[in-house]
Structure 1
Amino acid sequence: MPPDTRLTDIRDRIARAARLAGREPSAVTLVAVSKTHPADAIAPLLAAGQRDFGENRVQEAAAKWPALRERWPDARLHLIGQLQSNKAADAVAMADTIHVVDRPSLVAALARAMDQAGRRPDCFLQVNIGDEAQKGGCAIAELPALLAAVRAAALPLAGLMCLPPAGVEAAPYFALLAKLARDHGVTGLSMGMSDDFETAVMLGATHVRVGSALFGARA
C-alpha cells in the first residue's frame, strides 16, 4: 500500500473513532513517527499533506530534517524519545513539541535553553503509567511536583503523555492518563500508537503517535 493510501486510511480511522466518541476529528493530531526512516520515505507523506512527525533522537532528526524543512517549511517536529538534559538546547532548537518531559532536572535544562534560544516548544509531561522500571516517565505520585516545576519555570504545558505496558489492553492506562489530566487541569493527551490509536482517540487523545501503520516495518 503506498504511503498516501496508508495516510488516508489512518486519518479515516481517527475520524471514525473521534465521531464515535462524540468528538471532532480535527481535535486529534496525527504524529507520523518517522524515527529510523530516511528522508525519502518521509517526503511522500509530506507531499500528501501530513505535517506532524515524531523523532526519537535529536541527532537523527538533525541529520534529515533541515533539508526536508527547506521543501516543507510548515512541517512540525515532535520529539518523542527519552531526552538527556545535556541535549535540551538541541531539542529546543529543533522541535516544535517535546513529549518526554519527565523530571525536574530536565525542566530546568529546557527552561534555560528556551530562555537562551528565545524559542518555546510545547511540552508534554511523560507519565510512567504502568510503573515500569525500564521506561521513562515520572511516577504517578510525582506528577503534582513535576507539574508545579513546569508551571514555575513557565514551560508551555501541552498536556500528559504515556506509553502503556506492551502486550496488555491499553484502554485502562489511557483512561487513567485522562483522569490524571482532568484532576490536574491539563487538556492535552499524547497517547496511542499503531496498534491502539483508535482506542486512545475514543478515550480523549489529542495526539496519536503512529509509525509502523504508516511507514511499514521499522528500518
Structure 2
Amino acid sequence: MQEATSETSADRLTAIRARIDAAARLARRPAEDIQLIAVSKTRSAEEIAPLIEQGQMAFCENRVQEVASKWPALKERHPDIKLHLIGQLQSNKAEEAVALFDMIHSVDRLSLVVALGKAMQKQQRQVPCFIQVNIGAEEQKGGCTVADLPDMLRAAEEQGIPVAGLMCIPPANVEAAPFFALLAELAARHDLAQLSMGMSDDFETAIMLGATYVRVGTALFGERTGAV
C-alpha cells in the first residue's frame, strides 16, 4: 500500500514539473527561475515523505501550530527543506513565524509588518517576505489593497524587512490571467522581481505572466478524502 502511494506521488510530481517546464518554454523563460512549492497544509508526514524522496524541498503551510508539531522531525532528516508560510498570520505569532519559516508569503497589513520587523530584529534573522495584495478587492480575503501597497512597502523598508516580491490569490471561478497580469504590473512598478502566484488550477497561466513561485497542493497530493 505504501509503495503505491509513493509511486503515485512521484508520478504527480514528475507531471507537474513537466508542465512547469512546458509553460516556461512557451513563456520563453528559464524553468529554473520558477520554484514549485508543495502546499502541505493539513497533509501528514507520511503523505509528504514521498515527495521529499523525489527531491521536492520547498513546502508551504498556513498555520504556525501545525508546522511546530509536524516539521521538526522531517527537517532534522532533511535539512535542505525550506518552509514557506501562506496563511494569514496573527501579529502575536510573528516571533514563532520568524523562527520556523524560511519565507513568508502573506504579509497583509501594517500591524503585521511592525510585528515581523521587531521579531526579526530580536532574533537577528532576516526572513524574506511577500506583500499579499487583495488583487480582486474581495472582503473575505486577506491582503492589502492596491492603493495601500506603497505604504506597506515603505513600512517594510523602515522595519528592515526584506521584501522578496508580491503575492496574490485571485478570485475563484473567474479567469485568473487579468489578476496575475495586474500583480506583475504592480511588481514592475515597484522594482520587485518575485511573484508568488498560481495554484493547482492556474499555475501555467501564472507562469506565462511572470510567476516565480507557484503553490501547488491538490495536483501533487491528490484530492483529500474526508473532511479536513
Query: TM-score, normalising length from structure 2?
Result: 0.95
Letter in 2 for 1:43: A
Letter in 2 for 1:165: P
The residue aligned with 2:15 is: 9
Distance 1:121 1:40 in 2: 28
The residue aligned with 1:95 is: 101
Distance 2:68 2:18 in 1: 31
Distance 1:188 1:104 in 2: 21
The residue aligned with 2:152 is: 146
The residue aligned with 1:60 is: 66
Distance 1:40 1:108 in 2: 37
Matched, 1:81 2:87: yes
The residue aligned with 2:114 is: 108
Distance 2:212 2:100 in 1: 22
Q: Secondary structure at the match of 1:141?
A: coil
Q: What percentage of residue pairs aligned between the two structures are identical? A: 63
Runs of 4+ residues over 3 Å off in structure 1 = none
Matched, 1:212 2:218: yes
Unaligned runs of 5+ in 1: none
The counterpart of 2:163, out of the listed 157, 160, 172, is 157
Distance 2:56 2:155 in 1: 34
Task: Tell me the alpha carbon deviations over residues 144-201 of structure 1, each in whole angstroms, 9 at most, x when there is no partner.
Answer: 1101111111111110000000000000000000000001111100000000000000
More moved, 144-153 vs 25-34: 144-153
The residue aligned with 1:48 is: 54
Task: Tell me the alpha carbon deviations over residues 93-141 of structure 1, each in whole angstroms, 9 at most, x when there is no partner.
Answer: 0000000001111011001111111111110000000000000000000
The residue aligned with 2:3 is: none
Distance 1:151 1:216 in 2: 39
The residue aligned with 2:34 is: 28
1:216 Cα deviation after fit: 0.8
Query: TM-score, normalising length from structure 1?
Result: 0.99
Task: Tell me the alpha carbon deviations over residues 25-52 of structure 1, each in whole angstroms, 9 at most, x when there is no partner.
Answer: 0000000000000001001101110000
Letter in 1 for 2:204: E
Alignment of 1:191-206 (within 5 A): 191-206=197-212
Letter in 2 for 1:196: D
Q: Secondary structure at the match of 2:55?
A: coil
Letter in 2 for 1:107: V
Letter in 2 for 1:129: I
Distance 1:49 1:175 in 2: 31
Q: Secondary structure at the match of 2:148?
A: helix
Distance 2:104 2:74 in 1: 19
The residue aligned with 1:119 is: 125
Distance 1:60 1:47 in 2: 21
Distance 1:112 1:144 in 2: 20
Distance 2:142 2:135 in 1: 10
Q: How many pairs were matched up?
A: 219
Matched, 1:72 2:99: no
Distance 1:70 1:8 in 2: 25
The residue aligned with 1:19 is: 25
